[in-house]
Structure 1
Amino acid sequence: MFRDLSRPIETGMPTYPGDPEVTLAPDATHEADGYATSELRTGTHAGTHVDAARHTLPDGETIDEQAVGRFAFEARLVDLRPLEPREAIEPEALPGPSDVDAEVDLLVLRTGWASRWGSDRYRDHPHLTPAAAERCRAAGAGIGLDTFGPDPTPTAGGGLREDDDEPAGTPAHDVLLGSSLPIVENLCGLDDLPARFRLYAFPFRLRDGDGSPVRAVAEWEG
């Protein structure tokens, strides 16, 4: 069985605060030109996408330097629900190295935040503590998420929640990308997926790219 886990690319879709807006508009039309083409303007981290190490690490690997086979993942679903807005995901919530089969290279974290897509509440997603990211690294597994990313996203007011001691910067990204472990963000359709599946998330071959939108597709035996 197959399921599309990716967000449609469309004009005005939600983007991470400060990232370029997405527009998809007609360029040539059947009526005027006899054929149709469109112009797409987007950032490299719009919608469902993968991060390259260059995203947060100046000397990190770029998206086009990675072998295409690295984007076909053996995935394990980890259901973390219920979670509170901006809740910190601690290491104990994730499987440890001894609990992750050797063939698993991606932990897909279901936080439930996909249902908030398109609203300011989507920014208030849970996030990994640096120690939780270290636990993933120890297990040799990257992460997929139904959120903007593993680190906190600025609130609609533009800041982090200092009262909750939210980490600034990109510590969870740095831990994972620094070990060449994948990060797939803004997944959807995670409800009722099996515990194990294969996830395909092939990026554009962007020269010196720091990330790329993907068509994320789950496959499993029915």
Structure 2
Amino acid sequence: MRVVDLSHPIVSGMQVFPGDPEVTITIAAHLAADGFQVAEVHAGTHTGTHLDAPLHTVEGGASVDEINLERLVGPARIVRLPAVGPGHTFGWDDVEAQLAELGSVAMVLFQTGWSEHFGTELYLRHPAFDGDIARRLLDRGVSVVGVDTLNPDPTDLSGAEVDLPFHRELLGADGVIIENLTNLGSVDWADPWVTVLPLPFLGMDGSPVRAVAMQVDTPAGE
């Protein structure tokens, strides 16, 4: 079995969505002094590679603990996109050719290459995805979508009222969004088996995930 970790490490001071809680990790108990080590973690529910539950943007939407875990494990289609500049918006025409014959695909993950900018100011000016992509994926039975950017919608740094059409379409239909994926370029085989399992925060709007892509070799003769 080959395994590729699609998750950013969680460390103190790591980049978060503007205005979200900062990440701090401190040692609360020390092995030498206490006989064991325990860390104290302060972080938001949308820290690092994470899952957006419908409750994130939908009044009365499902919370992270209410999502059926079977939806978050299965074959994924990785859509490889060309390099673009800051603020570019991908439309359906840019992705359609790679989304034929989805069959039993459980989730679609978009690779823009923007994860290489994680931790920099440029990461905030990432490419985005038109809300029409979310609608068309839902029409094809796909309700779990991941991106290797901070946000499938543009991240507005002006302080203006937030407009999130991709979130509105997907989460409004009880879908799930995975943000801040990384290492998608290291998955060099078709339709990997992917897991994006959250922590069971009761009644909460999201959770960090350990996103993992796997290639399982079939034994000879099977």
For residue 176 of structure 1, the aligned residue among 170, 174, 182 is 170
Q: Structure 1: which 5+ residue stretches go unaligned? A: 161-166
Q: Distance in 2 between matches of 1:35 and 1:97?
A: 50
Please give the root-mean-square deviation of Cα atoms over the aligned residues, in Å: 1.9
Tell me if the contact between 1:86 and 1:152 (Cα under 8 Å) persists in the aligned partners. yes
Alignment of 1:176-215 (within 5 A): 176-193=170-187, 194-215=189-210
SS of 2:44 mapped into structure 1 = coil
Partner of 2:150: 148
Partner of 1:164: none
Per mean C-alpha deviation after superposition, the further-off stretch among 190-199 and 143-152 is 190-199
Partner of 2:212: 217
Partner of 1:14: 15
Report how far residue 168 of structure 1 moved.
4.4
Tell me if the contact between 1:78 and 1:195 (Cα under 8 Å) persists in the aligned partners. no
Change (3 A) 1:213 1:95: same
- TM-score of the two chains, using structure 1 as the length reference: 0.90
Alignment of 1:78-89 (within 5 A): 78-89=79-90
Report how far residue 96 of structure 1 moved.
7.1
Q: How many residues align?
A: 214
Deviant stretches of 4+, over 3 Å? none
Report how far residue 97 of structure 1 moved.
10
AA matched with 1:75: A
Q: Distance in 1 between matches of 2:137 and 2:85?
A: 21
Q: Distance in 1 between matches of 2:198 and 2:126?
A: 24
SS of 1:76 mapped into structure 2 = strand
Partner of 1:113: 114
Partner of 2:140: 139
SS of 2:185 mapped into structure 1 = coil
Alignment of 1:16-165 (within 5 A): 16-95=17-96, 99-141=100-142, 142-155=144-157, 158-159=158-159
Per mean C-alpha deviation after superposition, the further-off stretch among 204-213 and 194-203 is 194-203
